[in-house]
Amino acid sequence: MKKLAISVMALLAIVTAFTTAGAGAAAESKLDAVIAELLGSPYKYGGTTPKGFDCSGFTAYVFAKFGIDLPHNSASMAKEGVKVAKEDLRKGDLVFFNTSGKGISHVGIYVGDGKFAHASSSKGVVITPLSDKYYANRYVTARRILSDSVYEKIAVAQPEEEESAE
C-alpha cells in the first residue's frame, strides 16, 4: 500500500507523480525535481532558459544544474557518453530522434516508465511516452552520460537529507 510522509519531499513526489502521470511513483530524485519545475516552460528556438527552451537547450540546462556540460545541439549530444539499448534505458539517459528527416534533430531525457522529458516545438516542456506514435517512428538511439555514481546521486530517489536549510 502507499506510505505517505508529511514532508516537503513527499509533497514534491506527489506533485511529480501527478504531473508526469507516473502512477506508482513513490519518491522523487533530484533529476525529477529539476524537470518538474520546468514542465510547461514555453518552446523557443535556440532557447536555453525557463523563459523558453528548444530541445537541446532544455537538456543542457537540466544537466548544467548538476555540473554537467553538454553542447547546445542534439546531434553533438548524441556523440557524448556511451550508447545504450532502448530496453536498457534508465533515468537520465538521453534519447534521440530524427524529426527533420536529416538525421538526429531532437533530444529528450529519459525519466523512467517508458517516458521522456523534452521541449516540444508545439507544447513546450512536456513528458511524452516513447511509445507515442510520432516519436516511436522517429527514435534513433540513446546515450548514457551519467556515471553510475552520478546516476545514484541525482537520478535515484534519496532518503531525506539535510543538504541545505530551506
Q: Which residues are catalytic?
A: 55, 106, 118
73 grid coordinates: 545541439
Of 71, 85, 64, 82, give the one whose Cα is nearest residue 154: 64
For the CA atoms of 75, 136, 84, 26, what is the dihedral angle to 10 degrees?
A: 110
Q: Are 108 and 115 in contact (CB under 8 A)?
A: no
Residue with cell 538521453: 94
Cα diameter, the chain: 50
Give the H or E element holding residue 35. helix 30-38
